[in-house]
Amino acid sequence: MSKAYNTEIISVGTELLLGHVTNTDARDISELLSKIGINVLYHTVVGDNPQRLKQCVETAKERADIIITTGGLGPTCDDLTKQILAEAFGLELVADKAEMEGLRDFISQGRVLTENNYSQGMLPQGCTVFHNLWGTAPGCAFEAEGKTVIMMPGPPEECVPMFKTYGMPYLQKLSGEHIVSHTVNIFGMGESTVDSIFANEMNAMSNPSMAPYAKECDCLLKITAKAATVAQAEEMIAPVMEEVKTRLGEVVYGTDVDCLEEAVIKLLEEKPLSFAAAESCTGGYIAKRFTDLPGASRFFKGGMVTYTNQAKAALLGIDPALIEEKGAVSFEVARAMAENCRIILGSDVGLGVTGLAGPEGDGIHEVGTVFVSMAVEGCAYVKELHLGAYRTRSFVRRMAGNHAFDMLRRYLSGLPVRDCVTVCSPEL
């Protein structure tokens, strides 16, 4: 087996330690590296403090072969990464002619280029410069003392495309081993149960290995193999995946997907039906989640955010008397939302959500009470959820959306839509 190329990602920025921003760079770089068989062993976050950054770099030199930094390349006064990294490997910072020229030309949209931008053109001697097409601060890479160092800017919309464009090809040359991972995505069964079903396999297997992960509103089982080639790793994984899918059955909503809506769009690509959504407590979140996916417009006819009773009447034509009698958070209103949005937008399927996301209640239902509905030609399905009064608003909204997408997923897959009241009639 080839060298391990163990990696540490050091993210520099006091804003991370103040909790002001989330370290999505480390996550995204890790995900990319796992695809090319490079192991990430540590993420470290340190502030804009030269002494502490220096110590972190010394520690990383001892325990990692590849050091990737994010942040601290920008124009502000507290940007120190290049200086410290260059120093740690005995290199000087020198002006890069092309970058200096480029900086003079660059006027980013709506922003003014200032004198302190020019410090960005100073780079470690002999490094490979990564020109930043997404911002101003260039990145770079160098090899020294048997280590590989890569520096990326901090803002995620610069860091991630730069790492894909420059960092990945740079590192791909180093790695001879391939890690391949596939996930089995599960909704409707907890991580503990999944773990318990496969406990023996997980203890016994090391390559491929298997591990369950809890996500906020669903969970997954990840199967990972290492081999000299991708094809070999794939061959090792395939029978395990099949076994897992068979044993878990219909709670498996997909493989190698990020979320239920991605599973739904894949099903729609095979069986091109359209849908629409009428949302109360999720307030556009279902529409937002689905339209996060490129190509959503082929299947998503549109949606109504009917946060108020007035909007439920104006946009969905729901009789105010029905709302008055049954309440906005009710089986009947949820059903009418799905049915009416389906008809108004002329889609094959209509989804509806009405409930209490909290933190404030309505004096009638417990916070976390949500009715999720689906209407298709001839049938309506309504599911009543009690997601727990101690849950956050964000959890309730996300989980309600997952149930809606899962109902659609089950309908598209020809599986039973479980745990709901089903009303079928030739008039629907």
How many other CB atoms are there within 10 angstroms of residue 332's CB atom? Answer: 18
Place of tokens 């395990």: 240
Number of residues counted as binding its own copies (CB under 8 A): 123
Q: Which stretch binds its own copies (CB under 8 A): 16-24, 228-236, 237-245, 263-271?
A: 16-24
Of 192-251, binders to its own copies (CB under 8 A) are: 192-193, 195-196, 199, 202-203, 211-216, 222
Sign of CA pseudo-dihedral 120, 121, 124, 127: positive
Task: Give the Cα separation of 322 and 331 in Å (integer).
Answer: 11
Q: Which stretch binds its own copies (CB under 8 A): 85-93, 122-130, 169-177, 294-302?
A: 294-302
Q: From the list 102, 161, 232, 234, which residue makes contact with its own copies (rule: CB under 8 A)?
A: 161
Taking the complex as a whole, the smallest distance from the CB of residue 228 to its own copies amounts, in Å, to 21
Token pair belonging to 165: 């464009």
Q: From the list 168, 230, 296, 379, which residue makes contact with its own copies (rule: CB under 8 A)?
A: 296
The partner residues of 214 in beta bridges, in order of sequence, read: 219
Q: Which stretch binds its own copies (CB under 8 A): 11-19, 82-90, 122-130, 169-177?
A: 11-19
User: Quick check: 327 binds its own copies (CB under 8 A)?
Assistant: no
Residue among 124 and 135 whose Cβ is closer to its own copies: 135
Cis peptide before 359 (omega within 30 of 0): yes
User: Quick check: 290 binds its own copies (CB under 8 A)?
Assistant: yes
* Residue 31: partners with Cβ closer than 8 Å, 6 or more residues away: none
Distances, alpha carbon 218 to alpha carbons 143, 362, 399, in Å: 42, 28, 9
Of 164-193, binders to its own copies (CB under 8 A) are: 181, 188-193
Of 109-138, binders to its own copies (CB under 8 A) are: 109-117, 133-134, 136
* Residue 412: partners with Cβ closer than 8 Å, 6 or more residues away: 264, 267, 268, 271, 273
> Are 112 and 94 a contacting pair, CB within 8 Å?
no
Q: Which stretch binds its own copies (CB under 8 A): 51-59, 92-100, 227-235, 261-269?
A: 51-59
User: Quick check: 102 binds its own copies (CB under 8 A)?
Assistant: no
Q: From the list 77, 146, 206, 377, which residue makes contact with its own copies (rule: CB under 8 A)?
A: 77
Residue among 59 and 413 whose Cβ is closer to its own copies: 59
Task: Give the Cα separation of 212 and 223 in Å (integer).
Answer: 9
Residue among 204 and 425 whose Cβ is closer to its own copies: 204
Considering only CA atoms, which of 156, 167, 104 is closest in space to residue 130?
167
Task: Give the Cα separation of 248 and 375 in Å (integer).
Answer: 27
> Are 186 and 248 a contacting pair, CB within 8 Å?
yes
Residue among 266 and 388 whose Cβ is closer to its own copies: 388
Of 335-354, binders to its own copies (CB under 8 A) are: 344-346
